[in-house]
Structure 1
Amino acid sequence: MTVPEWHGTHEISDPEEADPYLTTILRFPIKSLDADRLERTTLVTDGALAGDRRWAIVDRPPATPYDPSIADVTGTGDYMNGKKTDAVHRIRSEYHGTDEGGPAVTLRAQSEGPTAGRRFDLYDGTAGASEADVHVELNEWLSDHFGRPVSVRRDDVGQHDDRKRHGPTVISTATLREVAAWFDITTDSARRRFRANLEVGGVPPFWEDNLFTDEGSSVSFRIGDAVVDGVHPCQRCVVPGRDPDTGAETPDFRETFIRRRRETLPPWTACDRFDHPFRLMVNTHIPGESANQRISVGDPIEILERKSE
């Protein structure tokens, strides 16, 4: 293993004394919009959590009339996410429906009052219905918000940026609290900026860095009765540097983050996957043995072993 020269030696606390448990579950039914907070959820091997990122806003109008062989192919198809536009931060979303997400959402612009909002159906794959027809009014509302033609696309396996390591992302509450202090923001603001699926309590800051190791290996850990493989430290983008309500840039976010991450880097982080300090959170993979396993807030978490990928 080659450890970069900038790796710190500041030991925050002993991770062996941690008592990790699952404290928060966040699912994002519509990619890039607000989270749906859950008490329990189901793990899926071809995605992350059941219903996570099932819908996404894409930069193209829907095909008219609807034809499943050509629908949604008239534009670039890029995600309308925070990497593309800060306008996504100014949409508030609330979900209504089942344990797996949907089948309806209420949207409002951040500039509107908390009692404002408009409810839209989400296409759930019902036979005889078409995505283009179900989403007509939703697509119109979103197109007006973004000032360009967009449409909502459904994909049952989820629409994750990392197509290989698309299990639920993991971070600790202590890490979010630590990073929030760097920027004088609330812990909830940090939570909404980094957008992890699973949050771990009962541990020191950056404990989740124990859940990845050198290239070619992964770290198995148990949540309740389910086994998850920790794979990779997540590389960050421009999104965490913006206010999650307004999209306003936090001054010097990247520079400050890199400096403070170096200063507080614990010894257990050192591995060749952690090749630069603009990383936070852990990407995971759900092995076949954990397909359809349920996890719940309060479940204990236990690190099991390192294994070859």
Structure 2
Amino acid sequence: MARLERLTVYPVKGLDGIDVETTSILDGGTLKHDREFALFDDDGDVINGKRTDRVHDLATDYSPESRTLRVETPDGDAHRFDLDADRTRAAEWFGDFFDTELALRRDASLGFVDRREMGPSIISTATLETVASWFDSMTVEGARRRLRANVEVSGVPAFWEDRFVGEGAPGFEVGGVRIEGVTPCGRCVVPERDPDTGDSIPEFRERFVERREATFPEWADPDAFDHLFTLMIIARVPEHDRGETLRVGDDVSWQPSSG
């Protein structure tokens, strides 16, 4: 039976995610605490893995209850920041680490997601298992951390999520909350890097596209894909279901398009 296997949010954009048992859908259609904070330089550009591989040198954890961020460097230097009271001090510390002046900003209404008109990212457990099998050095947990999806669904085949994008694609429900696919997620440089070391897999993109072509599912609409360096989908939660809660263990069922 299809079920919601895992919920992951990324409290500070570009840094580690945290697994949660429940999360609410914000009025803007994103998940609570997802990309709630982000580091910006003086030009208004964000610090993330696409910009610098130094993000992989940091291990972070976050408590939504206390809004405390723990950061540890490879040499074991650890710091805790209250992101209500210590945001300026945290920004100064990150500025020193990334060698640029930074501001740590908060958007609790939508988060600093890349596609601000859309919602959570969706992937299946079987997709992660399959992609991990393509590369000798990759584990399933490593694939999970490289691809950084919000919603993971088990009990379905690999690339199940691809069926929900394209003209006339159906939606699905998670515990009664409707989710509609919007677009496949084109990938950047981040998935090729080891999430702990930042080391890249040689010829990652070429191998990935080759295997994606070989395993492209019959239920997917090829016209929905501009290219095959894509994995997971970006979805939308209709306005009438915003404010609802997603829970790990919720049943997942297919629903027709809202047309």
* TM-score (structure 1 length as normaliser): 0.80
Among candidates 189, 199, 202, match of residue 152 of structure 2: 199
Please say if residues 11 and 33 of structure 2, whose CA atoms lie closer than 8 Å, have aligned partners that are also in contact: yes
Structure 1 distance, partners of 2:205, 2:67, is 37
The question of 1:292 aligning with 2:259 is answered no
Among candidates 78, 97, 103, match of residue 117 of structure 1: 78
The one-letter amino acid paired with 2:52 is: T
Q: Show the 5 A alignment for 1:46-125.
A: 46-59=28-41, 75-98=42-65, 103-109=67-73, 111-113=74-76, 116-123=77-84
The question of 1:136 aligning with 2:88 is answered yes
After the TM superposition, which parts of structure 1 deviate over 4 Å for at least 4 consecutive aligned residues?
A: none
User: What is the CA deviation profile of residues 29-75 of structure 1, one whole-angstrom value per residue up to 9, with x for unaligned ones?
Assistant: 1111111111111112414111111100112xxxxxxxxxxxxxxx2
Shift of residue 270, structure 1, vs aligned partner: 2.4
User: What is the CA deviation profile of residues 207-250 of structure 1, one whole-angstrom value per residue up to 9, with x for unaligned ones?
Assistant: 11122122xx5532110021111111111111111111121211
Structure 1 distance, partners of 2:29, 2:15, is 18
Query: Match for residue 41 of structure 1?
Result: 23
SS at match of 2:197: coil
User: What is the CA deviation profile of residues 111-133 of structure 1, one whole-angstrom value per residue up to 9, with x for unaligned ones?
Assistant: 134xx52110113xxxxxxxxx7
SS at match of 2:180: strand
Structure 1 distance, partners of 2:174, 2:64, is 26
SS at match of 2:134: helix
Structure 1 distance, partners of 2:27, 2:156, is 27
The one-letter amino acid paired with 1:44 is: L
Query: Match for residue 131 of structure 2?
Result: 179
The one-letter amino acid paired with 2:67 is: P
User: What is the CA deviation profile of residues 91-144 of structure 1, one whole-angstrom value per residue up to 9, with x for unaligned ones?
Assistant: 11111232xxx51111011x134xx52110113xxxxxxxxx732221121112
Shift of residue 271, structure 1, vs aligned partner: 3.5
Comparing 143-152 and 26-35, the one that deviates more: 143-152
Give structure 2 stretches of 5+ with no counterpart: none
Q: Show the 5 A alignment for 1:233-248.
A: 233-248=184-199
Query: Match for residue 65 of structure 1?
Result: none
What is the percent sequence identity of the aligned residues? 41
* TM-score (structure 2 length as normaliser): 0.95
User: What is the CA deviation profile of residues 265-303 of structure 1, one whole-angstrom value per residue up to 9, with x for unaligned ones?
Assistant: 111122421121111101011111111111111111111
Query: Match for residue 152 of structure 1?
Result: 104
Q: Show the 5 A alignment for 1:200-279.
A: 200-214=153-167, 217=168, 219-279=170-230
Q: What is the Cα-based RMSD across aligned positions, in Å?
A: 1.4
Higher-Rg structure is 1
The one-letter amino acid paired with 2:83 is: L
Give structure 1 stretches of 5+ with no counterpart: 1-18, 60-74, 124-132
SS at match of 1:269: coil
Please say if residues 224 and 295 of structure 1, whose CA atoms lie closer than 8 Å, have aligned partners that are also in contact: yes
The question of 1:190 aligning with 2:154 is answered no
Structure 2 distance, partners of 1:289, 1:218, is 20
Structure 1 distance, partners of 2:63, 2:174, is 27
The one-letter amino acid paired with 2:115 is: D
